[in-house]
Structure 1
Amino acid sequence: MGTFLFAIFLLIIGYLFYSKFVEKIFGINDKTPTPAYSQTDGLDYVPMSWWKGSLIQLLNIAGLGPIFGAVMGALYGPIAFIWIVIGCIFAGAVHDYFSGMISLRHNGEQYPNIVGRYLGNTVRFFINVVSIILMVLVAAAFIAGPAQLISQLTPLSFIAAIALIFGYFLIAAVLPVNKIIGRIYPIFGGILIFMAIAIGVALLFTDKQIPNLTLTSFHPNELPIWPLLMVTISCGAISGFHSTQSPIIARTLKKESDGRKVFYGAMIAEGIITLIWAAAGMTFFGGTPGLQEALAAGGPSGVVNEISTSLLGTLGGILAILGVIILPITTGDTALRSSRMILAELLDKFLTNMSGKAKVLLVTSLVTVPTLYLATIDYSFLWRYVGWTNQVVATVMLWTGTMYLLKNSKFHWISGIPALFMTSVVCTYIFYAPEGFSLSYQISLRTGLSLTALVLIWYVKQIIVHKRPPSNHVKSKAS
C-alpha cells in the first residue's frame, strides 16, 4: 500500500512544482488574445472556463484507456506504478502541455500542421496519414466495445447498437463544441473522477493488501517490461492520442495561464486514475495469476465490472456500466471530431469554394465510412494496432516540442529526453511485437537502440545548428 500512496503523492507534487517549471520554460503571456477570441466562429472556437475545459480534456484523453490499460498493465506488478509516475510527470504531461500550448500559439492548429512547422513537410505528410488512421481506429474501437455491451444488456442487436452510437458520433462531430461537448462532458468527467476515487477509497479499506514494490514483486510477468509496459499503459503515462485532442480545447481557452491547469493538470488526473485501477487489478484477484485468469474469462470489461460491483455494490455496477459504455463513446466522438478537423486542414486548398457547413459535412463523411466499416470487425484486432500508432504519434509530438524549444532558444531537454526515450520504445516494439516484425527480443532490442542512436545524432546536430550564431552576409562597400 505504501508504494501506491507514495506514487499518488509524487503525481500531486509533480503538478504543483514541475508543471510550473514547464510553464516557465514555455513562457506564457495572458495579455495575448487566445484563438477563442481572435478566431471566434461559433463552432470550434468558443471561449470556455478553464475548469470546464479541464473536465472535457480529461474525458477526451481518458475514455477507457486509464482503466483497461491499467488493468492490463497490472500484470507487470508494482513496477507499473513507477512507469505511470515517471511517464506521466516527465513525458505525458509535458507532451500534453506542449501539444495544447503550441496549438494555441498557432491559432488552434491541428497536430499535423504543428508537426510540419517544426519537423518539416515530409514528417507532416507522414503524421497526417498516421493521425487520421489512429483517429479512425480509436473511433471504430470505441464504437465496437460499447456496442457489444449494449447488445448484451438490451434487446438491440450489435449492428443496431453500432448504428445508434454512430448516429450520436455524427451529431457530436458537427455541432458547435459548446452545444453537447461543453454541456454534458464535464458531468461525465466528474463521473470518471468519482468512480476512480470510490474504487481507491474502497481499496484502502478492503482486507486485501495492495502490493508494494520489492525485489520479489518487482516483475511477476514473464513478458519483457521494455518496451511492452510502455505501450500497454499509454493513457495515464503518455499517449499520442492526447495531442490530437488538445487542439480542441486550445481553441476554447480564455487565457494562456489556463493551459497548465487544463493540459498538464488533466494528464496528472488521468495518471492518478490509472494508478488506482492498476492497484485494483494487482490487488483484487490476489496477484497476477488470478488477474490473468479473470482477464481470460471476461476480458478487461469483465474485470472492471467484477471489481466495481464487489467493492461498491449496486452503485459500482451502475458506475461500471456507465464507464464501459459512456467513456469510450465520449472519446470516440472527439476522435471523429479531431479526424474531421485534421482532414479539413489537409484539404483546405481544395475546398475553398464550399461553405463552412457544407465543408464540415463533406469532411465528416470522408472519415465516417472507414470508421463504420472497421467498427464491425474484431475489437481486440483493432486495439492491437492502436497501441503502436498511438506511441508513434506521441514520440513525434515530443520531438515537435523539442524543436519548438530549440528554435526559441529555450531549455529543450525537458522534451528532448522523453522524446529519445519514446523513440527507443517505439523502435524496439515494432520489431518485437506480433503486429510488427515478430523478431527475437535481442534482435529487436539491438535494432531499436541502433535506430535511437541515429536519432540522437540528428538531435545533437540540431542543437549545434540552433546554437550557432547567424552568419553575417553583409559585405562592406568598397571605398
Structure 2
Amino acid sequence: MMWFLMCVGLLIGGYFIYGKFVEKVFGINTQRQTPAFTKTDGVDFVPMSKGKVYLIQLLNIAGVGPIFGPILGALYGPAAMLWIVFGCIFAGAVHDYFSGMLSVRNNGQSVPNLAGKYLGKGAKHFMNVFAIILLLLVGVVFISAPAGLLGKLTGWDVSIFVGIIFTYYLIATIVPVDKIIGRLYPFFGALLLFMSIGLTIAIVVSSEHTLLPGFEAKDFLTNLNPNDMPLWPALFITIACGAVSGFHATQSPLMARCVENESNGRFVFFGAMIGEGVIALIWCAIALSFFGGVQGLSDGMGGNPANVVYEASTGLLGAVGGFMAILGVIILPITSGDTAFRSARLILSEFFKMPQTALPKRLLLAIPLFVMGAILTQVDFGVIWRYFGVANQTTAVMMLWTASAYLLRHNKLHWICTIPAMFMTTVVISFLLSSETLGAGLPITISTIAGLISTAIISALIIIKTKGKGDEGIIEEA
C-alpha cells in the first residue's frame, strides 16, 4: 500500500513541480492567439474549454496501452512501476507537452511537419511514412482489443464487433471534432475515472487480496520475470503508454487545434500524460496484487492481458461493477482508435495540401485508410502488437529529438528533452539489434554497446547541426 501511494504521490508532484519547470523552459505566451482562433474552420480547428480538452486528450492517448502494457510489464515485478513513474514524469509528459505546444506554435501542424522544420526534410519524409504506419497499427490494435473483450462479455462473434467499431471509426473520423468527440468524450472520461478509482478502492478494502503482497524495496530494482525474460531493453518497449509513447505525438496536435490559450498547455498535455501514468500504475499494481505475484500473474494471464482485465474487474467489483470497469477498458481503445484514423487523415491532408472543410475530400483520404486497416485486422494480434511497440517508441524518439532541436535553436535548456531522447534512442536501437523476432538477434551486450555508440553519434550530430541557429521556414513566434 505504501509503495503504491508513494508512486502516485511522485506522479502528482511531478506535474506540479517538474511540469511547471518544463513550462517555464518552453516559455508560454498568454497573449498569443492559438490556432483554435486563428484557423477556426468548424471541423478540426474548434475552440474548447480547458477541462473538455483535457478529458478528450486523456481519452485520445490512453487506449489499451496504459492497461495491457503495464499488465505485461508487471511480469518483471515492481520494477515496472518505477519505469512508469520516472518515465512518465521525465520523458512521457515532456514528450506530450512539446508535441502539443510546438503544434500550437506552428498553426496546429502535425508531427511530420514539426520534425521537418526542426530536424530537416529527411526527418519530415521519414515521419510522414512512419506516422501513417503507426496510426494504422494503432487503429487496428484498438479495434481488435475492444472487439475481443466485447465478444467475451456477450458471447457474440468478434467479427460482428469489428464491423461495428470500424463503422463508428469512419463516422468519427470525418465529422467535425465537436460533434462526437467533443460531446461524448467528457462522459467517457467520467467512466474512465470510475474504473480507475473503483478498482483501486476495491483492492485496498478487499479481504481476499493485498495491494502489492510481499514485495520489498529491493524488488523494485530486481527482475522477477518468471520466464527469465531480460528486463533490458524489453521493459521499455513493453510499457509505452503510461511511461512514454510516440502515439501521443500524433494525438496532441488534434487538441492543439482546440486549445484556447497557451497557459492551458501544461494541464492539457503534461497533465493528461500524468493522468495516464496513474492509470498505468493502477493496472500494474492490480496485476501484481490480484494474482498474488508474478508467477500467479503469468498463469492467470495465459498470454493475453485481456484475461487479467476480465478476471480482476469482475473479481473485485462484482458482476455490475465489473461490467462497468470492463466497459471503460473497451471505451479507452475505441476513443483512441478513432482519433488515430483522424490523425492519419490530417497528416495526409497536410502532405497533399488538401483542405478538409468539404466532406468529399475528407472521405477521399479516410476511405483508403480504412481499407488498409481492414486488411491489417487479418494479421495475428500478437504480431501487430509487437510491431506497434517498436513503431511507437521510434516515433517517441523522433518527437523527443524534434523538441530538443527546437530548444537548441532557441538556446534554451535542451537537456530536458535531449536526455530522454538519448535514453529512448538507446532502448530502440538495442532492442532492434537484440530481438530475434523483429531484429538482428545479436547478444544483448553487443546490442547495448552498439546502441550507446549510435546514440552518441546521433546526439552529437543533432546538437552541432541545430544549436543556436534559430527557426527557418514557418513563422513561429508571435
Cα 1:155–1:198 shift into 2, 3 Å? closer
Alignment check: 8 A CA contact 1:193 1:273 kept: no
Alignment check: 8 A CA contact 2:56 2:182 kept: yes
Distance in 2 between residues matched to 1:87 and 1:213, nearest whole Å: 21
Aligned to 1:390: 392
Alignment check: 8 A CA contact 2:59 2:336 kept: yes
Cα displacement (A) at 1:467? 8.0
Letter in 2 for 1:171: I
Matched, 1:231 2:237: yes
Letter in 1 for 2:284: A
**Residue number among 311, 331, 338 corresponding to 1:326 in the alignment:** 331
Alignment check: 8 A CA contact 1:78 1:213 kept: no
Distance in 2 between residues matched to 1:460 and 1:404, nearest whole Å: 11
Structure 1 residues 329-368: aligned runs within 5 Å:
329-348=334-353, 351=354, 356-368=358-370
Distance in 1 between residues matched to 2:219 and 2:383, nearest whole Å: 34
Cα 1:213–1:356 shift into 2, 3 Å? farther
Deviation per CA, 1:276-329: give whole Å up to 9, x if none: 1101111111110110011116x2111111111111112332124313422211
Letter in 2 for 1:372: A
Deviates more, 1:238-247 or 1:443-452: 443-452
Deviates more, 1:158-167 or 1:326-335: 158-167
Aligned to 1:161: 161
Letter in 1 for 2:246: G
Cα displacement (A) at 1:203? 2.3
- The unaligned stretches of length 5 or more in structure 2 are 471-478
Deviation per CA, 1:162-218: give whole Å up to 9, x if none: 221111000000000000000101111221122111111222223424154432562
TM-score normalised by length of structure 2: 0.93
Cα 1:232–1:55 shift into 2, 3 Å? same
Letter in 1 for 2:91: A
Alignment check: 8 A CA contact 1:143 1:162 kept: yes
Deviation per CA, 1:445-472: give whole Å up to 9, x if none: 2221221121232244247x5289xxxx
Matched, 1:457 2:463: no
Distance in 1 between residues matched to 2:178 and 2:455, nearest whole Å: 42
Alignment check: 8 A CA contact 2:236 2:427 kept: yes
Deviation per CA, 1:320-379: give whole Å up to 9, x if none: 43134222111111100000111111111xx57x97322211011121111011113221
Distance in 1 between residues matched to 2:152 and 2:25, nearest whole Å: 51
Cα displacement (A) at 1:153? 4.0
**Residue number among 268, 271, 288 corresponding to 1:262 in the alignment:** 268
Distance in 1 between residues matched to 2:157 and 2:231, nearest whole Å: 40
Alignment check: 8 A CA contact 2:410 2:469 kept: no
Structure 1 residues 60-139: aligned runs within 5 Å:
60-139=60-139
Aligned to 1:439: 442
Aligned to 2:224: 220
Alignment check: 8 A CA contact 1:64 1:323 kept: no
Matched pairs, number: 463
SS at match of 1:100: helix
Q: What is the aligned-residue RMSD (CA, Å)?
A: 1.8
Aligned to 2:205: 205
Matched, 1:290 2:292: no
Cα 1:324–1:379 shift into 2, 3 Å? farther
Aligned to 2:247: 241
Cα displacement (A) at 1:430? 0.8
Alignment check: 8 A CA contact 1:92 1:267 kept: yes
Cα displacement (A) at 1:438? 2.2
Cα 1:420–1:257 shift into 2, 3 Å? same
Alignment check: 8 A CA contact 1:144 1:376 kept: no
- The unaligned stretches of length 5 or more in structure 1 are 469-479
Letter in 1 for 2:412: K
Distance in 1 between residues matched to 2:449 and 2:14, nearest whole Å: 33
Alignment check: 8 A CA contact 1:310 1:316 kept: no
Larger gyration radius, structure 1 or structure 2? 1
Distance in 2 between residues matched to 1:144 and 1:358, nearest whole Å: 28
SS at match of 1:226: coil
Distance in 2 between residues matched to 1:337 and 1:467, nearest whole Å: 34
Matched, 1:193 2:198: no
Cα displacement (A) at 1:401? 0.4
Cα 1:363–1:216 shift into 2, 3 Å? closer
